[in-house]
Amino acid sequence: MAFLRSAVRRMVSAVRSPPAPICRTSTRSYSSEPTREKGVPYEKTLKQQDQASTGPSKPLPRSADVVVIGGGSLGCQTIYHLAKMGVTNVVLLERDRLTAGTTWHTAGLLWQLRPSDVEVELLAHTRNVISKDLEEETGLHTGWIQNGGLFIASNKQRLDEYKRLMSLGKVYGIESHVLSPAETKDLYPLMNVDDLYGTLYVPKDGTMDPAGTCTTLTRAASARGATVIENCRVTGIQVRTDDLGVKRVKAVETPHGTIETPCVVNCAGVWATKLGEMAGVKVPLVAMHHAYVVTERIEGIKNMPNVRDHDASVYLRLQGDALSVGGYEHNPIFWDEVSDKFAFSLFDLDWDVFMQHIDGAINRVPVLEQTGIKSTVCGPESFTADHKPLMGEAPEVRGFFLGCGFNSAGMMLGGGCGRELAHWIIHGRPEKDMYGYDIRRFHNSLTDNQRWIRERSHESYAKNYSLVFPFDEPLASRNMRKDPFHQALLEQGCVFQERHGWERPGWFNKHGRAPVKNYDFYGAYENKKNVNYKYSELLSKEYTFDFPPHHDVIKNECLSCRHGVAVFDMSYFGKFYLTGPDAKKAADWLFTADVNKKPGSTVYTCMLNKRGGTESDLTVSRLEPGAANLPLAPESNGDAYYLAIGGAVAEHNWNHIRTVLQDQGFRCNLTDHSEDMGMISIQGPKSRELLQEVLDTDLSNEAFPFSTHKVVNAAGHKVRAMRLSFVGELGWELHIPRDSCLPVYHALMAAGAKHGIINSGYRAIDSLSIEKGYRHWHADLRPDDTPLEAGLGFTCKLKSSIPFQGRDRLEKQKEEGLRRRIVCFTIDEKIPMFGLEAIFRNGVPVGHLRRADYGFFIDKTIGYGYVRNPDGGVVSADFIKSGDFTLERMGVTYKAKAHLKTPFDPENKRVKGIYSDYSD
């Protein structure tokens, strides 16, 4: 067999006429037709030689509690965990043989460290299932090999990222070591270390055999009563509409019979979109070619760890005494015409696309240049808009669950995600915080937008091995949702962030406009790259683990708010009305706080799941009954409520409320007016003085107390004014009908000129809010955190007798004491922190920071994280006060001060307009 580079050259030449040397500008083939089966580097295969049989491998039952569709990693893990949790009347349907779609050719790598605490936990569960649990249950070996993992850093920033992972790993007991180039050479003698900055070595990483794993999973599930049926394709999903008008799964249709079931799990991988269409469910993923090659035998490679060289965008997987070489390129090939007949099939490898991985691999392990290629593997994989899986119950149809879109990580995430999906199906929610994977993280207007799906999926694929920086933003599929202030703020230098499809203000550049341009696919597919791209240039300056160059700009926005007045565009907020005959019953059940105060009141509250975890924090305003005056007021003859919710999680909130209303049978109307209204927040000591010139109402404490609202005139336009603050200052929010937004804004800016008013963005809000100790949902506050743990017990009506969802769990937790609680930390060093830093008490890891930022008023780095007692006992105030705390950032520890209350304005004087204790 020819050597690797020359073999590639010969293969490329062979498909061209006349023969030519490697040329990356040559025409590419985009054939979507599968080619003949090629060699795959596994000793086992589930494919059976007898393909004559066309019938199902077992008779179909008439009914099942759950039908899992798709016999790949996720389908097998899901049925295994369902059976293990006691759901035995469960069926798995596979259209061909187990793993026939994409699982059979996966690389099977498992890395334990990721820049997410939840993903670290999911990976740990997969590892336990594969390396221990299954073998103990069945006596079968899954093919797990623990040969370790080595992360390559060619520069300081990359090593800093790895050190962040190392610090987080300490919280979870994951062993890892930062190695010098010389130490790396000792560990991996065949490696070129001349261009290395350092490496991170994780000894207990490894690989698994997909066929062996899936075989063992299904045998273990079958032993518990589950039924696995191969060679049985699904041709339809029956959906019924119940008495309340809710669509629910009814049955699964196949050529061999129909299975009545209330629950379907879509684990169909690249075919998941077609399966979703059968039920009227949108599944936003795309299929792409994903490839690796397997080398001939390499002397001295045996027992070496697997390698990820992110900067070269290549991985090297140990394959006995050979290597599998693959990676992620900027120009992946889309598989647009997904074939239903594709099973145990592969594509021809496009060497022009793949060649960059060969170059990176040879640079890292030079002996590869003198090594032959044994086989090529190029198969389809499913990819999503944010490189995260699609999981959870579909918004369109109750009982239709997603377990797909795993971005070639289905084997390593399968165990953890299979368990969470099983728990989701049985209990209505997962155990862990799975919001980052929940299909409801995407706004419904995006999930069938083909431009958004294609562009964003391409970018997430191309950036898969990029450094994960704290303030990165996508360049793909921008300007999907713009509020009425967008153009005016753009002209004033606004640098926008993207959330939920919205363009929201991030910060304000003093050097002019920075518009977001159409996506250029990084120059791939013959697209012309954007030039003179100011937004991209500013974004690239964010690519740091230090303070960004515009740190002083954000400081000015924050301190202008603290000392004067600032205006924040918060229009992307979700704005819902809850009305109807059972609106009060629904509000009592949904919200932890008593929101049934007199009309004109606004209450900060939470919504919980059945386990007492926090699904949302929001404000609920009780409205006067009356005729409709939309969008400012709905028609109501009784109780009516206005809900204002963080825009990035609006879809999640919408679906949570709707699900609770359905489950409880409440007769309510939930309407969404997010697009119909803008929302600006005017905050700071001078906000009252400024607003008094624009609003036609008395803004004194007596006439307009904190946490109240009323409809007023602003520069001749009706708006709903709320006295609230998310930054800890005297201030008001104005909720404004869309057509009135710009006139009101211009009037405010004109009146505010003499007060020094400035525009401020969400980077300032992040800093100001953490300084004040306000919680951010899905950072400080998640579905696996209770309000009591999060320091939000004051939002819970536990002193009343009013029942609400999750109340029983809170009462039990309050009685037993908190096993963990959120704590504020500050450090004296001027060092940036961003979250994931490890928390040590008396030298023992007790948690990690969820969120961190710089507080400019107190001039300190601030972080919030949940602290556990390593003994499993109660975390009392004395436990916190008596501890000696340190924070570890990138392997360096810093002495930290723990606070049970925010160090900034702990008595809440400023929101009341009391500034006598402060110097302006």
- For residues 220 and 45, the model is more confident at 220
11 pLDDT higher than 60: no
Close Cβ partners of 527 (under 8 Å, ≥ 6 residues apart): 520, 521
Across the range 327-352, mean pLDDT stands at: 91
| Paired tokens of 738 | 């869309």
Rounded distance between C-alpha atoms, residue 613 and residue 473, angstroms: 29
CATH number of 60-142+207-284+385-437: 3.50.50.60
Rounded distance between C-alpha atoms, residue 827 and residue 295, angstroms: 51
Rounded distance between C-alpha atoms, residue 251 and residue 426, angstroms: 18
77 pLDDT higher than 90: yes
Close Cβ partners of 108 (under 8 Å, ≥ 6 residues apart): 42, 143, 207, 208, 209, 210, 213, 317, 411
pLDDT recorded at residue 342: 87
- 767-803 burial: b if 16+ Cβ within 10 Å, else e: bbbbbbbbbbbbebbbbbbbbbbbbbeebbbbeeeee
- Contact, 329 vs 459, CB < 8 A? no
Is 0.85 topped by the overall pTM? yes
pLDDT in tens, 432-469: 999 999 999 999 999 999 999 999 999 999 999 999 99
> Smallest Cα–Cα separation from 71: which of 40, 102, 45, 41?
102
Q: Which residues pair with 760 in a beta bridge?
A: 568
pLDDT recorded at residue 4: 55
| Paired tokens of 543 | 């690519």
Sign of torsion, CA 651 656 662 665?
negative
Q: What is the DSSP string of 681-707?
A: EEESTTHHHHHTTTBSS--STTTS-TT
pLDDT recorded at residue 105: 87
> Quick count: other Cβ atoms within 10 Å of Cβ 432?
22
> Smallest Cα–Cα separation from 151: which of 102, 107, 114, 105?
114
Return contacts of 484-489, CB within 8 angstroms, 24+ apart: 484/571, 484/678, 484/738, 484/739, 484/741, 484/742, 485/569, 485/571, 485/678, 485/680, 485/741, 485/742, 485/745, 488/742, 488/745, 488/746, 489/569, 489/759
Burial status of residue 185 (CB atoms within 10 A of its CB: 0-12, 13-18, 19 or more): middle
Across the range 154-180, mean pLDDT stands at: 97
Across the range 845-865, mean pLDDT stands at: 98
Rounded distance between C-alpha atoms, residue 748 and residue 714, angstroms: 9
pLDDT recorded at residue 5: 57
574 pLDDT higher than 60: yes
pLDDT in tens, 815-828: 999 999 999 999 99
pLDDT in tens, 467-477: 999 999 999 99
13 pLDDT higher than 80: no
258 φ/ψ sector (left φ>0, alpha ψ -120 to 50, else beta): beta
Band of residue 54 on the pLDDT scale cut at 50, 70, 90: confident
Rounded distance between C-alpha atoms, residue 159 and residue 177, angstroms: 12
- For residues 452 and 41, the model is more confident at 452
43 pLDDT higher than 70: no
What architecture is domain 817-919?
Beta Barrel (2.40)
pLDDT in tens, 196-250: 999 999 999 999 999 999 999 999 999 999 999 999 999 999 999 999 899 999 9
Across the range 102-113, mean pLDDT stands at: 92
- Give the domain ranges of the chain: 60-142+207-284+385-437, 143-206+288-377, 817-919
| 768 DSSP 8-state letter | H
Across the range 834-862, mean pLDDT stands at: 98
Band of residue 916 on the pLDDT scale cut at 50, 70, 90: confident
856 pLDDT higher than 60: yes
Residue indicated by tokens 């008495």: 243
8 pLDDT higher than 80: no
Rounded distance between C-alpha atoms, residue 452 and residue 447, angstroms: 8
Band of residue 837 on the pLDDT scale cut at 50, 70, 90: very high
pLDDT in tens, 519-553: 999 999 999 999 999 999 999 999 999 999 999 99
CATH number of 143-206+288-377: 3.30.9.10
Rounded distance between C-alpha atoms, residue 180 and residue 310, angstroms: 17
pLDDT in tens, 399-427: 999 999 999 999 999 999 999 999 999 99
pLDDT in tens, 376-396: 999 999 999 999 999 999 999
> Smallest Cα–Cα separation from 860: which of 820, 892, 887?
887
36 pLDDT higher than 90: no
pLDDT recorded at residue 339: 87
Band of residue 334 on the pLDDT scale cut at 50, 70, 90: very high
Sign of torsion, CA 79 82 85 88?
negative
- Contact, 517 vs 537, CB < 8 A? no
- For residues 339 and 170, the model is more confident at 170
Sign of torsion, CA 248 253 258 263?
negative
Residue indicated by tokens 């049978």: 665
pLDDT in tens, 608-666: 999 999 999 999 999 999 999 999 999 999 999 999 999 999 999 999 999 999 999 99
- Contact, 485 vs 569, CB < 8 A? yes
Sign of torsion, CA 295 297 301 304?
positive
pLDDT in tens, 710-751: 999 999 999 999 999 999 999 999 999 999 999 999 999 999
Cis peptide preceding 18, ω within 30 of 0: yes
Across the range 329-335, mean pLDDT stands at: 94
| Paired tokens of 675 | 């697009």
Q: What is the mean pLDDT of the chain?
A: 93
